[in-house]
Chain A
Amino acid sequence: GQQLNQSPQSMFIQEGEDVSMNCTSSSIFNTWLWYKQDPGEGPVLLIALYKAGELTSNGRLTAQFGITRKDSFLNISASIPSDVGIYFCAGPVSGSRLTFGEGTQLTVNP
């Protein structure tokens, strides 16, 4: 299937720091999605992006849809301990099918 390359694979930060992660693809996507997975739970949608260049915020989270439509970025400002989890990017491949990146494991030290 289509590949989404997500980086970094893991991050260890101090509470209060800002976080940035990104996702790239060799193919163009018309939608980019960012999910968060809390420990022991399924992924939950954080932000959906529908237009190239779009910048969307959800509280302390901001995501951008790259101009080339082949990448997307997620930033978390002023991290807190409950930001811990795995963050996934995703995009539609056909119809209702989604493909996911490898995930970024975020650890926040109090």
Chain B
Amino acid sequence: EAQVTQNPRYLITVTGKKLTVTCSQNMNHEYMSWYRQDPGLGLRQIYYSMNVEVTDKGDVPEGYKVSRKEKRNFPLILESPSPNQTSLYFCASSPAGGNPDGYTFGSGTRLTVV
């Protein structure tokens, strides 16, 4: 089944403790992206990647890092999480240059930073 898999689904952590949220897709998509969802603000893009070793900042990149060493994986790294990063995070992928209707989203990771 074609899908985007995120892990973990839920995570509670403490301020300053480094964490990684993994994202993997099995559709051979070139494009991958991370969004955060907050009430009243919709989905805001954090980082995106057009292909292996090509990443770029989205609209809200502060406090986050990403890497794209393999086509299928696009982990989101929080080096020193803070409470304002408490949010619902989504990974998405699509074929590069394809129709914008080709996005597939993961099921989300709910992160709480205390």
Question: What residues of chain A have their CB less than 8 Å away from a CB belonging to chain B?
Answer: 1, 4, 6, 9, 31, 33, 40-45, 48, 88, 90-92, 95-103
Please indicate the chain A residues that have their CB under 8 angstroms from the CB of B35 in the complex.
100
Question: What residues of chain B have their CB less than 8 Å away from a CB belonging to chain A?
Answer: 4, 31, 33, 35, 40-45, 48, 50, 58-59, 90, 92, 94-101, 103, 105-108
> 3 smallest A-B Cβ distances: which pairs?
A42-B105, A48-B101, A100-B43
Q: B94 touching A96 by the CB < 8 A rule?
A: yes
Q: B97 touching A97 by the CB < 8 A rule?
A: no
Q: Count A/B pairs, Cβ under 8 Å.
A: 70
Q: A96 touching B98 by the CB < 8 A rule?
A: yes
In the complex, what distance in Å separates the CA atom of A100 from the CA atom of B58? 13
CB distance from A35 to the nearest CB of B (A): 8
Q: B43 touching A1 by the CB < 8 A rule?
A: no
CB distance from A29 to the nearest CB of B (A): 10
Please indicate the chain A residues that have their CB under 8 angstroms from the CB of B33 in the complex.
96-97
Please indicate the chain A residues that have their CB under 8 angstroms from the CB of B103 in the complex.
45, 98
The winner among B43, B98, B99, B103 for most chain A CB atoms within 10 A is B43
In the complex, what distance in Å separates the CA atom of A97 from the CA atom of B42? 15
Q: A96 touching B31 by the CB < 8 A rule?
A: yes
